[in-house]
Every structure is written in C-alpha cells, then in structure tokens.
Chains A and B, each alone.
Chain A
Amino acid sequence: MADADDTLAVLARDRGRALFGYAYLLAGDAHLAEDLVQDALVRTFARRRSGFTPDDAEAYVRRAILTAFLDGARRRGRWAAVRHLVGSTSEAVRDPASGVGTGLDVRAALATLAPQERAAAVLRWCEDLTVPEVAARMGLADGTVKRYLSTAGRKLEALLGPLPDGTDEVAPLTTGRSRP
C-alpha cells in the first residue's frame, strides 16, 4: 500500500491543482470539480497498482474525471426529465449565458455548451487532441464528436472569436480568416 499511497501523495502535491483545473474546465463549477477530482482519485487508487508512477496515475485520474463527468451528465440528463416529481431541487437554476458579458472568459463560454459538447471542446481545443483521440476518450464515433465540435465551435466562436488553428472540423464556420 505504501507505493500507491506515496504515488497518491506525490500526485496530489504536484498535480492536484492541474487536475482540479481540468475538472473545473469540464464542470464549470468549483465544488463539482472538487468532487470529480476526489472521486477520480478514489476510483483510480482503489485498484492496487504496484509500480504505478504519478504520470501513470495522472493519466488514469484524468480519464476517470472525464468519464465521471460524462456519466454524471448523462444521469443528470435522464433524471432531469422526472426530477420535478420529487419536489424542489437543491441545484440553483443557472442561466448558462449569465456569466458571459463583460467578464467573458473561457469558462463562461464553455458553460454555454451542453456537457458532451463541453467535454469534446476541452479535449479538442484545450488538450489539443485530434478528433479520433477525442472520440476514443469519450467512447464515441468520430462523426458524433465532429457533430459536437461543430455545434460547440459555433457557440465558442461567437463568444471567443475564431478558434485555434488546426480545427478543420469547424473551419468552414470561420469566415474571413486567412492564413499566411
């Protein structure tokens, strides 16, 4: 247990904030991000993994954060259809666009996206993964990811301006842009 525990301590100390940032970008909520990181660490280290380096662990934890986020979004989506039957909800009603304005930033822009779109956008444009890599991470077909990215790209470009270069899947959406 000592090895795994040491790996956990090292990972928490050296990469805790980066993991939080990753979860924060996906979730758009600090408390949910904390929960995602903690749950992902538990999921990862609940399996005994001798010889597990912090780098190995971080890759697993990041995957666990993503899958937990997507899984939670899926469950919340289905639950949302009937949650009014159980009375009031503790979640405050949030206007996703309310954070976009003078304080415009990336997180506010990402908050306007649906969870799957947001995950695809973070993986594609923040982590700089290719579409097939995003599809593999999300367990989706390439075409599905392209559809998410196309929708997300439109929304993000409207708020943040033209997307980073190399985003061919949404390049047609960006008009008036020329490359040297």
Chain B
Amino acid sequence: MNPFPDEPRHPLTDALDAAARTPEAEAYEVPVELVRRRVGRRRAGRALGVSAVAVLVVVGTASALPRVLPRAVEEVAADAPPECRLTLEDLASDDGAPDGWTAALTAQVAGTVARGDWPLSTSFVLESPPTVSLVSPPLGWTYGTSAVVLRDGDVVAVLDMFGAPTREEASRIAVDAEPLPFPLVTEGPAATVDCATGEPVTLPAGDYEVVATQTVGWTFEKVGGTFVARATSDPTRVTVGPDADVTSAGCGTTEELVSLTDPRANPAPFAIEIDPPAPTAGGEFLALDARVVSIATAPVSSGFTGYGRVAVAQDGVIVGGESAMPEPYVSVDLDPGESFPVIAGAPLVACGTDDTPLPPGDYEVWVMAEFDSGGGNFDWRAAGGPVPLEITE
C-alpha cells in the first residue's frame, strides 16, 4: 500500500509487475516439454563442480580399455542416456589432444556407495610435448563429463552429468568458465540413471566399475589461443553396499549426524539451528526454518549452496529426507555467534520412494550442510538437530 496516496508510486515499486507485462514477457512461454526432458536427465543429479580437491592421478589410456559390448537394444530404455548404447571403445573413440600434447583422465568414486548420489571425482592431466618450452602454463576448463557404470562388462547405468562433447563440438561451444591450472579436478555427487528404465536408480549391492570421459579446453595466459582435448579413464571399482543397509536401516542412521553436532569431534566452525516444525501430514512438503550459526571465536568466511540436506529419522534410523540443492554457491561471512538462513525442506515420504507418505507418528528432523573450508574444498560439515516432528494423517 502506498502510505502517501498523494504521491505517485515509484516505478521501482511496480517494476516486477511491469516486467511481467513487457512485450518480451507477453511473448514468453515456459518451454515445459524441454524443461521436462532436462528434469528427466538431471533428476536427483548434478553436474560436477570444480574443486581443488586432490585425488590420486593414475594415467590411463584408451588402448588399455577392455572391449565391452553394448547391451541388447531391447534392454535399454528409449529415453535412456545415449551413453547406455556405447561400448567403451565408442566412449574413447574421440580421445586425443592436438600437436603432440598428451591428455589423461583419472576417475575415482570414494569409498563404498550405499545409496543416493555417487561421489565421483576426476582429474584431467595435460602434458606438453617434450620438445616444447612453455612460456606460460596452460589454463583449462571442463566442457563436460560422461561416466558409465559397468557390471560384468555391461553398461548398466550412467552418472547423470553434463555429458562430454566431442572435440569438434567443444570447439564450437562458447566458454563461460574460469580457467584453472592443470590438473583439472572435478568433484561432486552424481545420480545413477538406469539404462533399462532411463530413471534414477539405486543400484543393487555388488561390485561395479566406472569409466569416465571428459572434454576440456585450455589457453595460455601470455599466448592465447584455444585448444581442446578429450580423454577416457581406466575403469575404477565401486562397491555398492548391501541392500540390508538400505532396506532394514532406512537410509542410514543418525550416528554421523550426532557426531557432527559435537564441536569437540567436528572441526567445522558452524552449527545449524532448526526451529521445531509444526505437525505436518505425511506426504506433504516440510519446510524448515533453519540457520547456520558461527561457533568460531573469530570471523569466518566460507561458502555453501545455501541449502541444507534434510533427514527425517525415527529411533536413530533415517527414514526420509532429501538431499540439498547442489548448484548455487553462497558466500558466508559470519562473526562469532552470527547466523544466516539455510534453506531446508523435504517431502515427508519414505526414502527411496517418490510418493509413499511417512506414516503418522513422532519423528525427529536433522539438517546437514557442507561448507567450503577454503579453495573450494567442501570438507566442513555441520548438522543441526534433532528437533521433534509430528507427522499426522
């Protein structure tokens, strides 16, 4: 309401409405089908984010790859990612680098995967020809990464990421990225997409292998120019934990969350506070009021996505919740005791399902977030909770 009715409304006051009535807005329609297709590809997944985390680099070459035959076409869903239909030779067929340069990629999935997104890290190494004396080191960026999941020689799933373009395609892509020194390291969770259904999937327990292909570009600080290379990793083994970890214990236990709330055991300078939520019906979306609080004794600068991961638990077993939104990077500069909000929410459905409401009862809620400890290393983790939650009919 304008408290000064005799004064004309300021144009900024009506700017949002006006912007929605511009000719551009009037002509605009959300490309719903395109969004649906992109959502289908990226559901529960994320593109890898660049970080400075070092991983063991083992040079692999395409020639070392075992030949893997594609699965029978009828076993691959029509809308499955195209990598489901590739052999490893196909995947590596465009590998190479110009003018005597050597490119190599290492892929690694840390630890045993229980469920949810896979923590894939890659390292792209670039070596100059031995006869070349560089005036300045190459600075590179990543165009995309494709990764397939193998079991018994079959491509059974792919990791949902921005796929690696061919070198020719990459040479035509406009770049909007910060060039970084080599090796180019990427790290982050990626969802597994089932080749048989085209949908995100929690793979059955067992041993798998991951092979990644990555396309990168680089330039030189003092010379300029743009160059493109692509490389495929050796297979790296991944173990998916037993189903019992998923079914009988829900989505894990709260043991780790409990430890994160202990400042004596957790070096992160943050804690997370959560306001107890109102009773909420099973299946409804639970929006939490949460905030990260600095427990440091001096000002601290960090960053995170702005979103927290929600865990709904009962008797120490996580039975529902949702991963954090992965993409944005929000800088946080907090004085001791200062706080700012964490966006946290989740549908109250059983974990591992899309729409099975959690039954009525008394639960507890946790929120966890990962923070940048410096240089893009998200190895500070903070948790808040438990706070009680009553789920109603």
Contacts and interface: CB of A to CB of B under 8 A. Distances in A.
B45 interface: yes
A173 interface: no
Contact of B45 (A3, A17, A22, A46): A46
A102 interface: no
Interface of A: 1, 3-5, 8-9, 11-13, 16-22, 24-25, 30, 33-34, 37-38, 41-43, 45-53, 56, 63-64, 67-68, 70-72, 74-76, 78-79, 82, 84-87, 90, 105-107, 110, 121-122, 125-128, 135-136, 138-141, 144, 156, 160-165, 179-180
Contacts of B4: 165, 179-180
Contacts of B179: 79, 82, 85-86
A130 B13 CA distance: 14
Looking at A37, A136, A179, which has the most chain B CB atoms within 10 Å of its CB? A136
B182 interface: no
Contacts of A63: 306, 343
A43 B285 contact: no
B331 A21 contact: no
Looking at B224, B328, B348, which has the most chain A CB atoms within 10 Å of its CB? B328
A122 B20 CA distance: 14
B30 A37 contact: yes
B132 interface: no
Interface of B: 3-4, 10-13, 15-22, 24-26, 28-32, 34-36, 38-39, 42-45, 139, 174-179, 219-221, 224-226, 283-285, 287, 303, 306, 322-323, 325, 327-334, 338, 340-341, 343, 345, 347-349, 354-355
5 contacts: A17-B28, A51-B285, A63-B306, A82-B139, A164-B12
Given A20-B20, A21-B22, A85-B139, 19 more contacts: A3-B355, A24-B19, A25-B19, A38-B38, A42-B42, A45-B35, A46-B38, A48-B44, A49-B285, A52-B285, A56-B345, A67-B327, A70-B328, A75-B176, A86-B225, A107-B15, A160-B10, A164-B13, A165-B3
Contacts of B45: 46
Contacts of A25: 15-16, 19
Contact of B347 (A17, A49, A67, A74): A49
Contact of A47 (B44, B224, B330): B44
B254 to A, nearest CB: 22
Contact of A46 (B39, B283, B334): B39
Contact of A43 (B32, B327, B341): B327
A110 B21 CA distance: 17
B168 to A, nearest CB: 18
A119 to B, nearest CB: 12
Contact of B31 (A19, A38, A45, A141): A38
B51 to A, nearest CB: 14
Contact of A67 (B31, B43, B328, B340): B328
A86 B226 contact: yes
A22 B16 contact: yes
B171 to A, nearest CB: 12
Contacts of A22: 16, 19-20
Contacts of A110: 15
Contact of A139 (B24, B38, B340): B340
A16 B20 CA distance: 9
Nearest to A29: B24
A164 B45 CA distance: 42
B331 A139 contact: yes
Contact of B333 (A4, A144, A162): A144
A4 B285 CA distance: 12
Contacts of B334: 141
Given A12-B30, A50-B355, A64-B328, A79 B19 contact: no
B10 A164 contact: yes
Nearest to A141: B333
B334 to A, nearest CB: 8
Contacts of A37: 30
A48 B35 contact: no
B19 A85 contact: no
Nearest to A49: B347
A136 B342 CA distance: 9
A146 B355 CA distance: 43
A11 B36 CA distance: 13
Contacts of A56: 285, 287, 345
B391 to A, nearest CB: 12
B12 A139 contact: no
B179 to A, nearest CB: 6
A30 B287 contact: no
B19 A107 contact: yes
B220 A85 contact: yes
A76 B178 CA distance: 8
Nearest to B226: A86
A71 B220 CA distance: 25
A9 B33 CA distance: 9
B28 A16 contact: yes
A126 B15 contact: yes
